[in-house]
Copies of this chain bind each other. A is one copy, B any other.
Amino acid sequence: METQTPAPEARLLVVEDEPNIRELLATSLRFAGFEVETAGDGATALALAEEGEPDLVVLDVMLPDVDGFEVTRRLRDRGRQQPIVFVTARDATGDKIAGLTVGGDDYVTKPFSLEEVIARIRAVLRRTRGGADEGSTLRFHDLELNEDSHEVRRGGRVIDLSPTEFKLLRYLLLNPNRVLSKLQILDHVWDYDFRGESGIVESYISYLRRKIDADGPSLIHTKRGVGYVLRVPPELTTV
Contact = CB atoms under 8 A, between A and B. Distances in A.
Interface string A74-115: 001100010000000000001101111111100100000010
The listed residue with most B CB atoms (<10 A of its CB), out of A98, A100, A127, A177, is A98
Interface string A155-172: 001100011000000000
A195 B24 CA distance: 33
A31 B104 contact: yes
A217 interface: no
Contact of A195 (B95, B131, B224, B234): B95
A158 to B, nearest CB: 4
Contact of A229 (B6, B26, B77, B150): B150
Given A94-B196, A158-B234, A187-B100, A226 B163 contact: yes
Given A6-B130, A23-B76, A103-B28, A178 B98 contact: no
Contacts of A226: 150, 163
Given A98-B195, A178-B149, A196-B94, A224 B162 contact: yes
A156 to B, nearest CB: 9
Contacts of A44: none
A134 interface: no
A218 interface: no
A102 B114 contact: yes
B187 A229 contact: no
B73 A149 contact: no
B19 A73 contact: yes
A77 B19 contact: yes
Given A73-B19, A73-B20, A81-B30, A102 B179 contact: no
B94 A27 contact: no
Contact of A1 (B73, B76, B95, B104): B104
A51 interface: no
Interface of A: 1, 4, 6, 19-20, 23-24, 26-28, 30-31, 73, 76-77, 81, 94-95, 97-104, 107, 114, 127-128, 130-131, 133, 148-151, 157-158, 162-163, 177-179, 181, 183-184, 186-188, 192, 194-198, 223-226, 229, 231, 234
